[in-house]
Structures are given as structure tokens and as C-alpha cells.
A and B are shown apart, each in its own frame.
Chain A
Amino acid sequence: MFQTVVSFLRTEIRGMSTFRKIRWIIYLLIIIQGIYLTIVRFTKGLGATTNLSDEFPWGFWIAFDVVSGVALAAGGFTLCFLVYLIGYHKFHSVVRATVLTAFLGYALVAVGLLYDLGKYYNVWHPVIMWNHHSVMFEVAWCVMLYLTVLFLEFLPVVLEKFKFHRLLKFMQRATIPLVIAGILLSTLHQSSLGSVFLIVPEKLHPIWYTPMLPLMFYLSAIVVGPAMVIVESTFSAKAFHRSLEKPVLVELAGFLLIALIIYIGVKLQDFYIRDAFKEFFTGSFESIHGLLEMTFFIVPVILLGLKKLRQNPRWIFFSAFLVVVGVVYNRFNVCWIGMLRQSNANYYPSYSEIAISLFLVTIGTMAFYFIARFFPIFPEHEHEETTNHEHQTVPLKMVETT
């Protein structure tokens, strides 16, 4: 075992270009630093590593690792809905990569949460100590269950690799119920992450505080789903030297556009009903962030609205990237920027907070990279006809099984 790993690493390193080598060295440094800071965090406590205070108890880790992390992993349920439930098989070639991304994303959220929890070893307490008045309690349960669902959704890939055919058959039969459970759980906790902030009407700035917060979080999660799939498949195409499947991208861009228009429509409606438009033009710190956030959604609509750009992978990637940034920006605004004024705190993340988040993201990316190398994540033949009937009736089975 050890020998194979070493020889694998050796050939791996030999085959790299200098540029790649430098990149891997940077990753390595991030990881070493991350491990060091992790030790500091768990031996010295939150005060030694974060800029959090009694006035501002939730910071970068909650805003980025947890709240943004959950949103960015939303591709899993939207794509599963399209592919398995309404039989939209054009996206079949990206569904495994997306489920893997979602699984790793949620796993990272869970790990990130451990860093943030003061008594991390009590993280399992919601299992036995119930408080059904708590949104957080509900989110905790949903995330726990959904992580299990995602694991089961991904399991067939592992079974396929190790040729456990009988179990594989069984798992494939469970696909539809699993997908339905996944969609319901996602719907609940994606929106509930918005509900988390319903209890602070006196703290969150009116640009973001609305009774519709759960709906906003849910819709933006649906928006960021296809955007993340686009971004992630563009990156992995680069990393694995595969050519991008243009028709899939164009199709995804179409979905992204529709979702965006709905999201922006609902958002404007909400501003109108609450009479919150005026908040944008006060020139305050919040209004600038609010306007900037909206730009990240409106520009992609314009770009994707132009038919010519919607056919171009580069522009599609660019728009999707803007949307991803926009959604993260939105979560930051709700968790952080919009909270500053009333808390009388001057919070900004410490170096360690950012370094640890970076460390987690790096680990996640590496995990994706290695899993994708060893397991059949991407279809062998990219241009295989996806109208093949065989895999329509046997979900979670790729066009070509290895």
C-alpha cells in the first residue's frame, strides 16, 4: 500500500511542469500553515485565532465556511432534480461531479463548523437534545441527513469502481427516493439558513432584512447551483485536460439565466413591497455594498441575455463566476456587513480566520482532484450520445462504465 503511494507520487511529480510544481508547493504551504493554525485554534481557543467579540459573535467562518459553503454546494440538488426527476438527461455527464462537489462541500461545512463551535465535541448534541423552536436545530438535522443522502448518492460510483455489482443494483433502485429526500432536505435547510436571520430584525440592515429571507436564500441557492456547475466543470476540464462539452454549458447557461431572472424579479418585488429602494440611495456603507451585490446579479443577466454571448463558453464561465461571487457577497452582507452598524463592533476577519478557511477550501479541492482521478466521475467518452436509453432508466450509471 505504502509502496504504491510512494511510486504513484514519484511518477506524479516527475510528470509535472514547473508551473504545476510551484502551484503544488503553494498548496502544501497553505496546508502546513493550516495544520499549525488548527492546533492553535483548538489549544488556545477562539480568542487567540479570531477577531470575534461579544459584540460580534459570528464572523468569517460562519459567513464563508458555513453559510456560503452550504449555498455553493446547492448544485447537487438542483441538478439531481433536473436529471433524475424530470429526466433532463443532457446534464447526465456532469451529475456525478456535481454530487461529489456537493458532498465535499457539505463535509467542509461540517468541518468548518467544528472550528467555529466553542464546544466542538458537543456538535452531536442536537441529535438527542431537541429544541424544535430553533431554526439552527432544524438546519443541523437537515445538514446531517443531507450529508448522508449525498454520501449514498455518491456511493454507486465507489461500488462501481470496486465492482460490487449486487449492491450497486440495489443502490440504483434507491436513487429516486434518495434524490427526493435530498431535494426536500435541501429546500428546508437552504431556506432555513435565511430564517436563521429572521430573529434579528433589530440588528440586520433593512436592505437585507425581510420576512422573505428564507425565500431569498432558497432562490439564490437555486441560482448558484447551475453557476457552480459551470464554474466547477470549467475548472475540472482544465485540471484533467478534457475538452468542455459546449452544449451542456450552453444549456446550463440557459437555466442560470431563467433562475437569475426569477431571483431578481422576486428581490425587486420584495424591495418594492417593503419600500426599501430608498435604502440603496442613502450613500451609506450598507447601500454601497447592497448596490455592488446587485450588480453581480444584473450584469450576468445582461451578458447571458445576449444570445451570442450565451453560446460562448468563456462568457458563460465569466457570468457564472460573477453569480457565484454575487451569492457569496450576498451571504457576507447578511452575516457580516449588514450586522456591523447595530453591533457597534468593527469586525474584520483575522489572518488566521482567512488562512484556515483557505486551508479547508484547499483540502476540499485536493480531495475532489484525487477522487476524480481514481473514481469514474467523468464519462470516458465525452461525446457519447446522451440520448442512450439504457442509462435513462438506470440512473447514476454513467454512459460508459469502466
Chain B
Amino acid sequence: MSKALLLDFTRCVGCQACEEYCAKENNLPSDAPDDKLNYKNFTVVLKRNHQYFRKMCMHCLHPACVSVCPVAALEKTENGPVIYYPSKCMGCRYCMMACPFQIPKYEWDKPIPVIRKCIMCHQRVKEGLPTACAWVCPTGACRFGDREYLLEIAHKRILTFPNRYVHKVYGETEVGGTSVLMLSSIPFEELGFRTDLPEVELPELTGTVLRRIPNVVITGAILLGGISWLVNRRMSLEQEHKETSRSEKRKKDKDS
């Protein structure tokens, strides 16, 4: 069963315990900025119009970053987390480019940089524990559980408090769905979340092209081979023709 997080921003009191505990759990440096995501933090708590909200990796169900990485340094695990193997990474930053939420961050000022992003405490999740942020959250604004169950809860909350929430569970359908779901009282685009994202799974966009490759190669090879054979044959025939006509001419000359 794929695990997920439900972030209910209306319940967040901005205590930043999740930030702190996340840093502790993942051995993050203490001098991380708390107003934007960068390579030193995995999540930040921000505030807009009296509402707190959080930014973190969305752990897409069909992550673009995983599909684009040429060396498979990113992986969507069965439990839900999208994890990263720094030793495989070659630093092409295609994952940063492809991520629709602009989540992967890079250690720009290091000579040998790696990608940094939330890995949804995959070690804990594997052991059956909730993520650090969900475990520490005092108000239940961050909840850990099965995705289907959390989705159900989210919709129920919207139904019971239609005035409190924007009628949308962010992450339900965005780019094919994500493992992090969000509820908010102010429109998501005002919080800086893109609501114009396509609902298709992004990897499909390149997948359809990539699947054609074997076909292109085989047809192309046969076609090109055929062309070259034909042209060659025509040329050698021409030459033969010329030679025979030349020798015939010579014969005629001799005869006459």
C-alpha cells in the first residue's frame, strides 16, 4: 500500500516543529534558510494571509524526475517515497529541469555537488513509522497514512466544512497524482502552487516517443540498407553496361 502525507494548512499553527525534526532526522545543517527551500532543508513552513503552509517534495505517483534521470539515481519506492542515490548521480540536473514543482535543489557552491530533496523519511516508512514531520506535528496538520484513506479524509473535511476549505485537494490529480496531498483555505495559486499543471503523467509525454525508437531503428536500417543496395546495384549495372558497349564498339571497329 502506497503511503502518503496529508497537509491540512488550516490546522497548521506555524510552530515549525516539522522543520526542526526533519533537519534532525536527516542530519541537515542548522544554518538553513527558513523562508525558502534550498539544499540545506527539505521542507519550510511559510505564511500567507494568516495561513501557514508548507513546501516540500510532492512525491508524485509518476515522478518526472525518476523518469528523466539517465542513470536511475532517483527511484519511486513501493511505499511512496521518491528517493535519491547520490553515488549514481552524475549531476546533469535534468531532474531539476523536469520537476513540475521545482523541488530538487542543488549544492551550487560545492565543487562536487549533489541533489538534495525530501526523501519522505523512507527509512522510517520502511520500518512502518510515520515520517518525522508527521510524527512530530502537534495539531495533526500533517498526517501520515495510506493515500486512499487520506484522500477520503480530505474530501470528507471539505464536505463537512465547505466554508473553511478551497474545494480542491491539491495533489489528487496534478501530474497524475502525488503522494503529498494538501488542503487550504486560500486558493493554492496564491500560495505559489501551480494549479495549471496538466493531469497527465508527465513521463508519458516522453514515453510515447521513446517507445517508437526500436521501430524507427529497424525500419530505418532496412530502408537505408535497401537504398544503398539499390543505388550501388544501379551504378555497377551502369558501369557494366558501359564496358560491354565499349567492348562491342571495339569489336565492331576491328570487324570493319
Contacts and interface: CB of A to CB of B under 8 A. Distances in A.
A195 B211 CA distance: 12
Interface string A190-212: 01100110111111000000010
B222 to A, nearest CB: 10
B217 A44 contact: no
B99 to A, nearest CB: 9
Interface centre among A53, A139, A179 (most CB of B within 10 A): A53
B207 A180 contact: no
Given A122-B89, A137-B70, A55 B102 contact: yes
Nearest to A132: B210
B67 A133 contact: yes
B198 A201 contact: yes
A45 B224 CA distance: 45
A44 B111 CA distance: 5
Nearest to B225: A180
Interface stretch (A158-166, A181-189, A289-297, A316-324): A181-189
B188 interface: no
A173 to B, nearest CB: 13
Interface in A83-128: 84-87, 116-120, 122-123, 125-126
Contacts of B91: 117-120, 122
A46 interface: yes
Interface string A133-144: 111111110000
B221 A184 contact: yes
A130 interface: yes
B68 A54 contact: no
Majority secondary structure of chain A interface residues (helix, strand, loop or mixed) = helix
A138 B210 contact: yes
Interface centre among B88, B90, B98, B106 (most CB of A within 10 A): B90
A113 B207 CA distance: 24
A84 B216 CA distance: 21
A116 B97 CA distance: 14
Contacts, number: 176
Given A126-B70, A202-B196, A183 B220 contact: yes
Contacts of B88: 122, 125, 129
B96 A57 contact: yes
B72 to A, nearest CB: 4
Contacts of B198: 201-202
A204 B52 CA distance: 30
A118 B90 CA distance: 6
A366 interface: no
B245 interface: no
A87 B235 contact: yes
Contact of B206 (A47, A180, A199, A203): A199
B58 interface: no
B79 to A, nearest CB: 20
Interface in B92-142: 92-94, 96-98, 100, 102, 105-114
B213 A135 contact: no
Contacts of B231: 85-87
A199 B90 CA distance: 20
Contact of A188 (B73, B196, B213): B213
A119 B69 CA distance: 14
B15 interface: no
A393 B235 contact: yes
A334 to B, nearest CB: 12
A125 B216 CA distance: 26
A386 interface: no
A376 interface: no
A134 B102 contact: no
A133 B210 contact: yes
A42 interface: yes
B92 A176 contact: no
Contacts of A176: 228
B202 interface: yes
A326 interface: no
Given A118-B112, A343-B102, A123 B90 contact: yes
Contact of B97 (A58, A119, A184): A58
B2 interface: no
A53 B113 CA distance: 13
B155 interface: no
A45 B203 contact: no
26 contacts: A47-B108, A52-B108, A54-B108, A85-B227, A86-B228, A86-B231, A87-B231, A117-B91, A118-B91, A120-B90, A122-B90, A125-B90, A129-B71, A133-B67, A134-B70, A134-B72, A135-B206, A137-B71, A140-B70, A184-B217, A195-B206, A199-B68, A201-B202, A201-B205, A202-B194, A393-B235
Given A131-B72, A201-B198, 4 more contacts: A48-B109, A81-B224, A119-B114, A184-B224
